[in-house]
Structure 1
């Protein structure tokens, strides 16, 4: 076996470093930079989350105080891509509805329906259904309620559907919806009796 002298070994190392050393050093610099960049990104994310949460709290206080201009100012400062924006849109819809601006309330709720949080989405759909019913847009309200089947709002959905069908004059569907509800038995029995009474009268009108 041929042995290399220290001088030959040193020469091989120098050649190897000349050939590969720069790329290794660059790789190490990039690796260190990536770690540092990720830590900076984490820190920035935490800072942004903290700032958005603080703005959300301020927005909630302004909505409760019914300070319309202040709510709009705070909302304008919020990051539209932040996780909290869906909750902010629910709050803005509440402020608009409180001031009878149903069109603006529906706009905010329509945006909140696209939130990442499923609970925010369900809440937006539920409030939108109520506003649509309040505005006489019964088909639109029923469409939103259909999307809430199986959600945490399932029992309330059946009740609102019953009310909508009753207001539409669709007494058979109203009675069916009332029968499906689990809740205050006495209240539901009274409502169901009233609807069935209307239905019986409509089916068998009194003779002259």
Structure 2
């Protein structure tokens, strides 16, 4: 039987010393490592828990939003406004907050409160994390300005390079601005741009075509 090879004494002492250092290090830091592992595992659970929490809040906000729409459709504007404010105040981190602000702006316009409506829409335009909501708010602001006869502000609002898929809507509002200013050629050009990619026989296409024809006829009658 082969004799077990003995390690040189200096190596053995070094290993014993390292082992002792390791034991001392573990005694000092081991509990922290275990705690870190526990927290790490809990962190994974925490992420899942947070996702469940945010999902529950979104579902609650969705329910409130549906109630808001139902109240508004039933003519209960005061109740619809109350629900919209609740969504804005309590569920501001959900996508329904922007939609609630759009509803508040609509109700404000119907009540003749242009300033309040503009405040709601400006908030969405400047603060929303959803680009589509930003464009919708900007377009509605432009429409409010146009309805108030503020052609300059309306034109400034829709004169943007980045239109995020709302090219037709921006061009239509711009055409409306020019139409009211009796700039017939500019109006026709804007409506032509708005009609690009649209079915002229569809509802929106028919309206745009009628506006375009009005601009052309007005230019001819001059």
Judge same fold: TM > 0.5, yes or no.
yes
* 2-structure distance, mates of 1:22, 1:159: 67
- Which residue matches 1:43? 52
- Which residue matches 1:205? none
In the alignment, is the contact (CA less than 8 A) between 1:148 and 1:157 conserved in 2?
no
Match of 2:140 among 105, 111, 127: 127
In the alignment, is the contact (CA less than 8 A) between 1:166 and 1:195 conserved in 2?
no
* 1-structure distance, mates of 2:121, 2:220: 37
Q: Which runs of 5+ in 1 are unaligned?
A: 202-208
* 1-structure distance, mates of 2:59, 2:142: 32
* 1-structure distance, mates of 2:32, 2:188: 77
Is it true that 1:33 corresponds to 2:8 in the alignment?
no
Is it true that 1:72 corresponds to 2:86 in the alignment?
no
C-alpha root-mean-square deviation of aligned residues, in Å? 2.9
The correspondence of residues 1-208 of structure 1 with structure 2, limited to 5 A, is: 1-2=7-8, 12=20, 14-78=23-87, 79-113=91-125, 114-147=127-160, 150-182=163-195, 183=200, 184=206, 187=210, 190-198=213-221, 201=222
Render the CA deviation track for 1:162-181: whole Å, top value 9, x for unaligned: 23213223344334434545
CA apart distance, 1:59 = 1.6
In the alignment, is the contact (CA less than 8 A) between 1:125 and 1:148 conserved in 2?
no
Q: How many residues align?
A: 195
Q: Which runs of 5+ in 2 are unaligned?
A: 1-6, 201-205
Structure 1 runs of 4+ aligned residues shifted over 6 Å read none
In the alignment, is the contact (CA less than 8 A) between 2:178 and 2:184 conserved in 1?
yes
Give the TM-score taking structure 1 as reference length.
0.76
Render the CA deviation track for 1:57-108: whole Å, top value 9, x for unaligned: 1122222223232123212322223222111111222222233333322222
Change (3 A) 1:28 1:170: same
Give the TM-score taking structure 2 as reference length.
0.72
* 2-structure distance, mates of 1:195, 1:32: 72
In the alignment, is the contact (CA less than 8 A) between 1:163 and 1:174 conserved in 2?
yes
